[in-house]
């Protein structure tokens, strides 16, 4: 009983995150190398993530001058733990849900916000100016898309009449939310970019700050942070696939496989955006977030509410 109820879910979540992080690393570098028209054989080498792992582990892990050691060490672990928490509420099939919380959606919201705290801590605790700047910039911008995330998620909970993710999946049996609320997924993807500070919303570790919060990480400590960030991408993809693409629902194939396929699709979209869209300037993003995204998410919510009443 304990095996099935406690160990199996933990095992599944951790394995998914770690394997998923490897897949993200592979896809990220492979698509980047293809975009740069590098040699095909080398850029598609399936062992490349292992080589990078080896490189990270054989480098020294540098410490900045007088950092806040506890938080510096803790932040990557916490970021990973948050990813695990977020993934835990995702249902894999009708009867396998690692943590079937009644308020799964609210928990995901909490994960998003706590991630902001953890990312800030990571940059702040290094006691160096570039990571600090990255952290501040991230927080001051991050708070502006959190609201969008809340409204979009409430919109998804409306047709399900529940905050439980298994109910949200059930509510998509006839029509997926991506069709029912056409604005939801694009808005949610933007939130995902912000949550993982990826691509156009990479404010925490942008190129102009010399990689911001990662600027003073090296070796193993950088590896752990990267792992956590990739894990968060994976968790987000699973969540997006669950709330907008019908989760494990689908014909012919078993449920979990459908879920993985849909999550991979979301992941590929995110990676594509990362390589092809320029990093926004903070100033422009603030205006876009408040003037465009927030009203759009209102419209999305009203749309969802009207449909639910009708």
Query: Does 143 sit near other proteins (CB under 8 A)?
Result: yes
- If binding is defined by CB under 8 A, does position 262 make contact with other proteins? no
| Position among 16, 166, 196, 206 found at the interface with other proteins (CB under 8 A) | 206
Binding segment for other proteins among 11-19, 36-44, 187-195, 247-255 (CB under 8 A)?
Answer: 36-44
Cα–Cα distance, 105 to 149 (Å, whole number) = 11
Number of residues binding to other proteins, judged by CB under 8 A: 78
Q: Which is nearer to other proteins, 146 or 257 (CB)?
A: 146
Task: Report the alpha-carbon distance of residue 278 to residue 187 in Å, rounded.
Answer: 18
What's the closest the beta carbon of residue 165 comes to other proteins, in angstroms? 13
Task: Please select the residue that binds other proteins; options are 113, 183, 294, 296, rule is CB under 8 A.
Answer: 113
User: Tokens 């990813």, residue?
Assistant: 83
**Closest CB to other proteins among 219 and 256?**
219
Of 10-18, 91-99, 203-211, 246-254, the window that binds other proteins (rule: CB under 8 A) is 203-211
Token representation of residue 116? 């902001």
Q: Which is nearer to other proteins, 43 or 264 (CB)?
A: 43
Exactly one of 72, 209, 231, 271 binds other proteins (CB under 8 A); that residue is: 209
Minimum Å gap between C-beta 257 and other proteins is: 30
Length of the chain: 310
Burial 33-56 (b: 16+ CB within 10 A, else e): beeeeeeeeebebeebbeebeeeb
Binding other proteins (rule: CB under 8 A), the pick from 121, 213, 228, 263 is: 121
C-alpha triplet 279, 73, 202: angle, nearest 5°? 5
Q: Which two tokens stand for residue 237?
A: 């993809």
Distance CA 85, CA 239 (A): 11
- CB neighbours (10 Å) of residue 127? 16
Q: What is the nearest approach in angstroms of other proteins to the Cβ of residue 16?
A: 22
Q: Which residues contact 36 (CB under 8 A, 6 or more apart)?
A: none
Which of 110, 265, 288, 294 lies at the binding interface for other proteins (CB under 8 A)? 110
User: Which range binds other proteins by CB under 8 A, 127-135, 229-237, 248-256, 262-270?
Assistant: 127-135
Rounded Cα gap, residues 10 and 8, in angstroms: 5
Distance, CA of 45 to CA of 42 (rounded, Å): 5
Q: Is 95 in the site for other proteins (CB under 8 A)?
A: no
Q: How far is the CB of 37 from other proteins (least distance, A)?
A: 7
């Amino acid at each position: 009983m304990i095996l099935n109820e406690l160990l199996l879910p933990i095992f599944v979540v951790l394995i998914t995150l770690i394997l998923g992080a490897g897949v993200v690393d592979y896809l990220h570098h492979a698509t980047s190398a293809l975009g740069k028209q590098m040699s095909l054989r080398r850029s598609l080498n399936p062992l490349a993530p292992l080589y990078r792992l080896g490189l990270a582990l054989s480098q020294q892990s540098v410490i900045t001058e007088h950092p806040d050691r506890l938080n510096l060490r803790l932040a990557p672990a916490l970021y990973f733990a948050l990813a695990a928490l977020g993934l835990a509420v995702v249902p894999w099939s009708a009867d396998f849900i690692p943590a079937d919380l009644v308020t799964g959606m609210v928990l995901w919201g909490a994960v998003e916000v706590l991630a902001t705290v953890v990312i800030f801590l990571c940059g702040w605790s290094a006691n160096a100016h570039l990571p600090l700047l990255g952290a501040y910039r991230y927080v001051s911008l991050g708070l502006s898309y959190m609201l969008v995330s809340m409204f979009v998620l409430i919109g998804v909970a409306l047709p399900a009449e529940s905050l439980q993710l298994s109910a949200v999946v059930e509510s998509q049996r006839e029509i997926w939310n991506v069709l029912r609320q056409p604005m939801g997924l694009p808005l949610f993807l933007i939130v995902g970019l912000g949550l993982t500070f990826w691509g156009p919303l990479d404010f925490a570790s942008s190129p102009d700050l010399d990689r911001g919060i990662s600027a003073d990480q090296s070796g193993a400590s950088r590896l752990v942070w990267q792992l956590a960030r990739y894990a968060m991408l994976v968790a987000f993809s699973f969540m997006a696939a669950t709330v907008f693409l019908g989760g494990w629902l689908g014909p012919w194939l078993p449920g979990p496989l459908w879920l993985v396929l849909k999550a991979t699709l979301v992941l590929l979209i995110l990676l594509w955006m990362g390589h092809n869209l320029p990093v926004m300037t903070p100033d422009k993003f603030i205006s876009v977030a408040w003037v465009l995204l927030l009203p759009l998410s209102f419209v999305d919510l009203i749309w969802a509410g009207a449909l639910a009443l009708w």
